[in-house]
Amino acid sequence: MAGHSVPIDFRVNPAKVSNPVERKTLLQDLLPLIEPFTGPLIETSLCEVPGGSHVALYCSDTMTLAVKLYFNGLISATVEYYTDEVNEHKISNDDGRRLERQIREKFDCSVAKVLPALKRAPSINPYFTSSDDRILEYDVDELLFSEQTEFQKVQIYHTKSFGNMLVLDDLQNLAESDLAYTHGLMNKGLENFKEKEILILGGGDGALLWELLKEKPKYVTMIDIDDAVMRSCAKHLKSVCGDCLDNYDGEHYKIIVGDAISHMKDMIKEKRTFDYVFADLTDVPISPSPRGELWDFMRAIMNLGTELVKPDTGKYMTHATGIQCKKALTMFEEQLSSLEIPVTFTQTSHYVPSFKEKWCFYQVTHKSLKT
């Protein structure tokens, strides 16, 4: 059960809006194109709003049509209705394309677009966003797990296309379809993990740990702050984490539930180092400048993580954000270049199915001490 909002947008000559007679004619000509879907529409209000725009509202027995006519010729209309069948659209994609053609012909406009219905407050949220804030709709059909912990909101949805999908604070993190993400973070095929000492920061979904264990490392230590993530993934993302989250202390690995920064500081005091340190934590923030709490947290992780990497031979491996977020990636690379320990780095990218975009990964090493 949900409300549906169908956006209908087109552009006309601005004179059709500013001239009262032409404006009235435009509205009268638009209604017959919409009424096959709504039934007969009755005008309930028509008014001018500041800035030279106008708003008209119409109602049928079960639907409403709101039309805003902007001073510059943009016409933004919305058909709204309530439905018990959230995935059954009153205006199909074929209907929308046909309506676009009718609008272009009727109003002699070059731009006309009818979007699929936006679902308003459905019982299961289908909407998440890309790294650059584009709205993405998923074919979710069940919420399998939901828990608000002291750290974050942990949810696992089932989707028809990507399988079960972990969502943290309303951001998609990993789905059963996303081996490309884990292999991208590992830089699989170009790194040798056999008999290596490895530290994972975050990684609560267990996918990275599971894939690394297949590479026969000497030992892997994983630190994640939220046990609810691991509990839920052990049950609902078994295909990506295997059985490594069933027991937090295995023959070649140990999972620590706790704060990564605190444990890393203790490890530095103990003079421990690792062949690989993986940061599978916060995405690179999208912000005007590298300031704020998230950037401070990221810099702390980067400085401590690179300090724990073995000089010259070790690597700090991390994910970043979508390849289209060029400004954020540039700021991230500037932070890498100004770490307390001098580093060099390479960037790779892989398409992640459930993210619906290419994602960037970084491989960071100490600058060689040799001249």
Spatial distance between the Cα atoms of 64 and 153, rounded to a whole number of angstroms: 35
Q: How many other C-beta atoms lie within 10 A of the C-beta of residue 28?
A: 10
Asked about 275 being catalytic, the answer comes back as no
325 burial class (0-12, 13-18, 19+ CB within 10 angstroms)?
buried
Q: Residue 127's closest CA among 286, 113, 358, 117?
A: 117
Q: Give the phi and the psi of residue 291 in degrees, each rounded to 5.
A: -130, 160
Of the listed 280, 283, 296, 312, which one is catalytic? 280
Q: Residue 10's closest CA among 88, 99, 92, 84?
A: 99
Token digits of residue 209: 């740990």
Spatial distance between the Cα atoms of 339 and 337, rounded to a whole number of angstroms: 6
Residue 129, classed as helix, strand or coil, is strand
Q: At which residue do the structure tokens 């059963």 appear?
A: 176
Q: Residue 17's closest CA among 56, 53, 45?
A: 53
Q: Residue 56's closest CA among 79, 27, 99, 83?
A: 27
Q: Which residues are catalytic?
A: 280
